[in-house]
Structure 1
Amino acid sequence: MALYVMKFGGSSVGDTERMQRVARRVAEKQDEGHQVIVVVSAMGDTTDDLIDQAKLLSPEPPTREMDMLMTTGEQISIALLSIAIHQLGKKATSFTGWQAGFRTEAVHGKARIIDIQPSRVLEALKEGNIVVVAGFQGMTDDGEITTFGRGGSDTTAVALAAATSADVCEIYTDVDGIYSTDPRIVKNARKLNEISYDEMLELANLGAAVLHPRAVEYAKHNQVRLVVRSSFNHNEGTVVKEDAHMEQGVVVSGIAYDKNVARISIVGVEHVPGVLAKVFGSLAEAKIDVDIIVQSGDQEDKADFSFTVALSDRENALKVIEGLSEEVPFREVTSEDGLVKVSIVGAGMVSHPGVAAQMFDVISKQGVNIEMVSTSEIKVSCVIAGGKLNEVVQALHTAYGLDTDNQAFVGGPKDRR
């Protein structure tokens, strides 16, 4: 007997018919003799609908109240799924995140997990229940409800698997594994049988939406066996593990892209020590993640620098910079959207020179300028205008030998959380 944690996203439980299919899938696992914990997201577009309703009442709703509001979507899902499981003649118990023992830091909207005490979950398993847990949520020591941000249900599942010493954590989505790129853009994308934690973490951070970066980090740190599978079929998925077997001759494992990109440029800053520390320290205090940074000097002891942030953080970042105008005088600050970040990832890149040059050449042949570049041992990222994203991704996929003769399986609308 093994303990499985099975996570299903919003599209997998998007209506009652899909909810019943998930219930049958979970019941099958218990019939095989295993214990089962299920983590679910809110149904379909429930979260987006709740956000829209809040924005009708206030353009900037209080973050505390938004957490109170958005956690209700998952609570609906866990109750309905438990009812569906009961209808199949199985015992099921549902828990909110805090009932399942998730204790978090006191940050609304992007809280991190401090501790998990899953005693109620383990007790319910001993009693023969299928345990259904709400993803994406926890509670502070002071009793405040918090959420983990987009993708937080993945983190819930992996963290719960670690806390309960589960044998495997299965993430169910609308594709049947991790692909070499988005199969909606490249129909003959290659499904990977396995991928390393480090490669998956890079892909997730760079925009691949199948797994959330924090979930991959948690899995790597706790050595959780992670499998990505489809909720629409029983095909073998992709195993995320410490050391994945690298196919002969494969240098690049995957290509990711991120449309949520804005570039901010600060022009005419004094070229003196401490300026960058002040600017980026202030952005960090505002919980704004900065990605690629490029600095250049001019002939008047002034410096210009540009950096990228999430498009959703652009306005807040501009407010922070404007607030520094007296401490860090500058000539002007500008921002730009309509950009995308395209990245290649692969552990094999370490020992193969010329990989980045090939990427630059492929992009240039599509008639696209490269605006910014960032590299690490196993990835190269280029910020480009978004108009030819599909063509660039397809060209890169072919150039690095990732095309297959088989069409990728895509089962439905993409899971959002």
Structure 2
Amino acid sequence: MKIIVQKYGGTSLATPELRSRVCDIIAAHRQEETALVVVVSAMGREKEAYATDTFINLIKESNPDPPLREMDILVSCGETISGVLLTSHLCARGIKAKFLSGEQAGIITDSNYGNAHILYVNPQHLLECLSAGMVVVVAGFQGISEQGERTTLGRGGSDTTASALGVALDAEYIDIFTDVEGIMTADPRIVGNARLLDAVTYNEICQLAREGAKVVHPRAIEIAMQKSIPLRVRSTFTDSVGTIVANQNPVWDNRARIIADRLITGITYTSNIAQIKISIDSHLEPRGIDLKIFKSLAQADISVDFITVQPEAIRFTVNNELAQKTKEVLKKLDLSFDIELNCAKVAIVGAAMTGIPGVMSKVVEALSENDISILQSGDSYTNIWCLVNSKDMEKAVQALHDKFELGNK
């Protein structure tokens, strides 16, 4: 049995007209004698009636710090509403369909409310429904713990649900339907000549996602990699195949799509960052001070990033909203420090940059030519990132995109 998993985001399901469009896509795949599992997100975005953020705001009106167990029960309702409506719409069209909650679909998680990880999937009930000729609509973002409690999977959780089901069912591929054409070389709202990528590797899209691109959640990519199941990032509103995510050269419609050995795949960014610069004074005992700093921050539940440790100074970043809390922790340690608010992290990502000389030189050249100061920099095998002032972020993205000629075919 050929199985395809499709995931539809909230913007693809927000209105009756859009849900009708989704039904058209499902009906077209049914004609290909394909068994379909359809994963849905909550409908719409913040301030819309059934969006996840709407439920969060609702419960926080009565309690700014609600119990996490009850929060998960409430926010998981959005996907249930969305799934039941789509199932009803399919049945009205004469398409045999059945809705399953995360629990009914066999998604078993740990007990970390609000950001649970999937432990395993028992696909028996899903396979029974598919064998009966049904389109199975599954609520994304939710599962059940081994203790029998409803859990949610955190932001991007519906992507994670789709990938987990794809792996458990050994699907042909996983389609992530959204409101964009696919994966672009940069954010098209910033870069006018940003280009759609035909194909990227798992590693490249993971890095793009972790550095700020919001097309697919990195956890979903990592799960799909376990069985090398290709993903397609597609628009609900066009018939384009979008971007294929795979490590090999998959063939769609008898056409080979080659993942080229390009130097740079794309440019991405993260904003609302604060940089912390700690001076290691000569009167302090330097040995172990870095451990003391980061252990104290961990105990205060402060997540740090972009870490540079030197004998005379330590630098790292936190989200802007954690800057004040970080300041309080460092004051207790009697440290001399500066905080630079409103920074942004700009990154270039490319699987082929490893061992290639001159990449960092081009990064520095692109930014210096546009009078953009680099506050901090770092790199890994597949990316280079620079911390800049937020006011320079968009200019930096455009400058790097132009320097590496990503707008050209």
Q: Distance in 2 between matches of 1:227 and 1:281?
A: 41
Structure 1 residues 59-68 or 27-36, which shifts more? 59-68
1:169 to 174, 191, 213: 174
Per the alignment, residue 38 of structure 1 pairs with 38
Deviations 1:211-245 (A, max 9, x none): 11111111122312111111111112211112464
Matches within 5 A, 1:8-407: 8-45=8-45, 46-243=51-248, 245=258, 247=260, 250-268=262-280, 270-281=284-295, 283=297, 289-298=303-312, 304-311=313-320, 321=329, 325=332, 329-332=333-336, 335-404=339-408
Q: CA deviation at 1:142?
A: 1.2
Structure 1 residue 55 displacement after superposition: 2.7
What's the counterpart of residue 7 of structure 1?
7
1:173 to partner: Cα distance: 1.1
- Summarize deviations over 1:276-296 as a string: whole Å, max 9, x none: 344435655676543210223
**Mind listing any 5+ residue stretches in structure 2 that lack a counterpart?**
46-50, 250-257
Q: 1:3 to 1:285 in 2, by over 3 A?
A: farther
Structure 1 range deviating more: 179-188 or 376-385: 179-188
Aligned length: 394
Could you state the TM-score of these two structures normalised by the residue count of structure 1? 0.88
**Would the aligned equivalents of 2:13 and 2:43 in 1 still touch at CA under 8 Å?**
yes
Preserved contact between residue 271 and residue 297 of structure 1 (Cα < 8 Å): no
Cα distance in 1 for partners of 2:144, 2:222 equals 21
* Corresponding residue for residue 415 of structure 1: none
- Assess, with a 3 A threshold, how the Cα gap between structure 1 residues 30 and 286 changes in structure 2: closer, same or farther: farther
Is the CA contact 1:267–1:330 (under 8 Å) kept in the aligned structure 2? no
Cα distance in structure 2, aligned partners of 1:8 and 1:402: 29
AA matched with 1:381: W
Letter matched to residue 342 of structure 1:
V
After TM superposition, give the deviation of residue 246 of structure 1 in Å. 5.0
1:256 alignment partner AA: T
Q: Give the residue type in structure 1 aligned to 2:309.
A: Q
Q: Give the Cα separation in 1 of the matches to 2:86 and 2:72.
A: 22
2: CA distance, partners of 1:129 / 1:216: 27
Match for 2:208: what amino acid?
L
> Is the Cα–Cα contact under 8 Å of residues 200 and 240 in structure 1 kept in the other structure?
yes
Contact 1:24 1:85 in 2 (8 A): no
Alpha-carbon distance, 1:254 to partner: 0.6
How well do the aligned residues superpose, as a CA RMSD in angstroms?
2.3
Deviations 1:7-61 (A, max 9, x none): 0111111122111211221122112210000011000121121222223222222
| CA deviation string 1:185-217 (max 9, x = no partner) | 223212111111111111111011111111111
Q: Which runs of 5+ in 1 are unaligned?
A: 299-303, 406-417
Identity of aligned residues (%): 39
Q: Distance in 2 between matches of 1:127 and 1:230?
A: 29
Q: Is the 8 A contact 2:198 2:243 kept in 1?
A: yes
- Equivalents in 2 of 1:312, 1:117: separation in Å? 40
User: Who is 2:253 aligned against?
Assistant: none
Mapped contact 2:14–2:43 kept (Cα < 8 A): yes
Shift of 1:256: 0.8
For residues 142-193 of structure 1, give each alpha carbon's deviation from its aligned partner in whole angstroms, at most 9, with x where no partner exists.
Answer: 1222111111111110111000111110111112221111122223212111
Question: TM-score if structure 2 supplies the norm length?
Answer: 0.89
Distance across 1 between alignment mates of 2:296 and 2:145: 25
| Secondary structure of residue in 2 paired with 1:121 | helix
- Tell me how far apart the structure 1 counterparts of residues 138 and 176 of structure 2 sit (CA, whole Å): 14
Higher relative contact order (CA 8 A, sep 6+): 1
Match of 2:254 in 1: none
Q: 1:391-410 deviations in whole A, cap 9, x for unaligned?
A: 221121111011148xxxxx
